[in-house]
Structure 1
Amino acid sequence: MKNRLIRALPGAVVVSLLVACAAHAPQFGEQSQASLASPSRGEGSYQQAQWRTAVDELLKTPPGGDAWQPFLLPGKRFADFELAGQSARAALSVSADGSVSILRKRFDKALPDVDRIAFSWKVDGLPDDARLGEAGKDDAPVRILLSFDGDRSKWTGRNHRMSEMSRLLTGEELPYATLMYVWANHDAPETVIVNARTDRIRKVVVESGAQQVGRWRDYQRNIREDFVRAFGEEPGPLRAVAIMTDTDNTQSSLRAWYGSMTLTVR
């Protein structure tokens, strides 16, 4: 019953919900593949420790908080994140096939002064006919998600109802605001896309179209400036960060790589 209800929950709400709820990266050879996949299938403690160490070295955040953890969404296919090397870069790779793959890190004590984020990614294709502003077509080959606290008294009744539904189904409220960096099929870079189901999720397009498919792309973003531009207010404390590849709405197949990421505070 719970699985059916979660499947019925608007996808954007679930994504935002999942989000809320580092040193020199390990080196691998060109196109090499580590034998270790994300510990989502009950692997032993030794493998889990290896995984966590490698991911912490690749995806660097301020001290504290939970370990990076894969999140398997009931009713959705999950494709494992794997440690891989691409063009002498350490990376996490995921082979999506009508699936939703999320890796998130939550902070027990929210980070009050987030500053910048640097990240890199690469894809070998885009989801078929995906449109980030359309419910039911909201797929992206790569995403970085940032979840913030804030004053929920500013919310509309609709957002309060969605948050309550989320709490009942999963035990976690909808975050006050979720900012995403995305690769879009059609929308121009720097476009801000408000989610079709809730205005508490807004996406900043940092890459668009197929021209750069197959190439590593590197970004440095000022989180505060992007949040203010997207939401029209100052960001609250940061509660969580995640990476996500999803092709479930369009039932597309593609492969994505996430290179090094560094999140800093002032």
Structure 2
Amino acid sequence: MKIVFIVFLMALPVQHLAAEPQLPLGEFSRNRLDGWERKRFKGETRYQLQTLEGVVALKADSQAAASGLFKEQRIDLEQTPMLNWSWRIANRLNGLNEQSKAGDDYAARIYVVVKGGLAFWQTKAINYVWASNTSKDKVWPNAFAGDHAMMTAVRGPEAALNVWYSEKRNVRADLQKLFGEDVRTIDAVALMTDTDNSGRQVSAFYGDIWFSKD
């Protein structure tokens, strides 16, 4: 029930930070996890900073578990709408129906969350996922949260294993497309590697995460 992640984030206090042309969020290459907090759902995915090919990255290992890291930070999408990150996975979760509750597991995913305040039903989230069985660019509602949390396959089964991919998404444009609203701020970013529904094992690496103007 990873929808709990979204509800949990709603209850946290909001940090108001001045927007910058480039806003670092996950500075893993600097061996830092400042501001990132853990949220456990079932079991515990192991997250640790580890050097890979001469660069420090965040390694995630999940064995029938689902826990994530989140960082609450208000991001002004008028100033820095572009979400940037890099990632790689070591293996896939073959054969899952990722549109079902039983198959709602991903080798890697990054969330952006827009809180609904007291009106929790207005909370919105986009899950940028590395899908194992769904083709790149496909979009669908989360099996647990419905159309309050939309899934976007940034990478799919065609992507090579053990290879770094760099991503860039216009979050403001994606929110407009998926929810039909001009959302100008988001409230938190989270990442998760999870296998609690399938009971399997998967490993991934996450590189630095930041927002930029272009």
Q: Which interval holds the TM-score relative to the shorter structure?
A: 0.7 to 0.9
User: Residue 205 of structure 2 aligns with which residue?
Assistant: 257
Higher strand share: 2
Letter in 2 for 1:72: R
5 Å matches for 1:100-115?
A: 100-107=66-73, 110-113=74-77, 114-115=80-81
Q: Are 2:101 and 2:197, in contact at CA under 8 Å, matched by a contact in 1? A: no
Q: Are 1:136 and 1:249, in contact at CA under 8 Å, matched by a contact in 2? A: yes
Q: Are 1:150 and 1:237, in contact at CA under 8 Å, matched by a contact in 2? A: no
Deviations, residues 20-39 of structure 1 (Å, cap 9, x unaligned): 4457933xxxxxxxxxxxxx
Tell me which of 43, 62, 75 is aligned to 1:77: 43
Q: Are 2:63 and 2:195, in contact at CA under 8 Å, matched by a contact in 1? A: yes
Compared with structure 1, are the counterparts of its residues 150 and 15 closer, same or farther at alpha carbon in structure 2 (3 Å cutoff)?
closer
Q: Say if 2:150 is the partner of 1:202.
A: yes
Aligned length: 197
- Greater gyration radius: 1
Among the aligned pairs, what percent are the same residue? 23
- Give 1:150 deviation, angstroms: 5.2
User: Residue 120 of structure 1 aligns with which residue?
Assistant: 86
> Which 5+ residue runs of structure 2 have no aligned equivalent?
12-23
Deviations, residues 220-256 of structure 1 (Å, cap 9, x unaligned): 1111111222222222521111111110000111111
Compared with structure 1, are the counterparts of its residues 100 and 24 closer, same or farther at alpha carbon in structure 2 (3 Å cutoff)?
closer
- Give 1:178 deviation, angstroms: 0.5
SS of 2:209 mapped into structure 1: strand
User: Residue 215 of structure 1 aligns with which residue?
Assistant: 163
User: Residue 178 of structure 1 aligns with which residue?
Assistant: 125
User: Residue 190 of structure 1 aligns with which residue?
Assistant: 137
Compared with structure 1, are the counterparts of its residues 211 and 264 closer, same or farther at alpha carbon in structure 2 (3 Å cutoff)?
closer
- Give 1:206 deviation, angstroms: 0.5
Higher helix share: 1
User: Residue 29 of structure 2 aligns with which residue?
Assistant: 25
Q: Are 1:131 and 1:184, in contact at CA under 8 Å, matched by a contact in 2? A: no
Tell me which of 210, 223, 228 is aligned to 2:176: 228
SS of 2:85 mapped into structure 1: strand
> Which 5+ residue runs of structure 1 have no aligned equivalent?
1-10, 27-52, 57-66, 153-159, 161-172
Q: Are 1:12 and 1:201, in contact at CA under 8 Å, matched by a contact in 2? A: no
SS of 2:126 mapped into structure 1: strand
TM-score (norm 2): 0.81
Runs of 4+ that moved beyond 3 A: 18-24, 149-152
Compared with structure 1, are the counterparts of its residues 258 and 239 closer, same or farther at alpha carbon in structure 2 (3 Å cutoff)?
same
Give the RMSD, CA atoms, in angstroms.
2.5
TM-score (norm 1): 0.67
Letter in 2 for 1:243: L
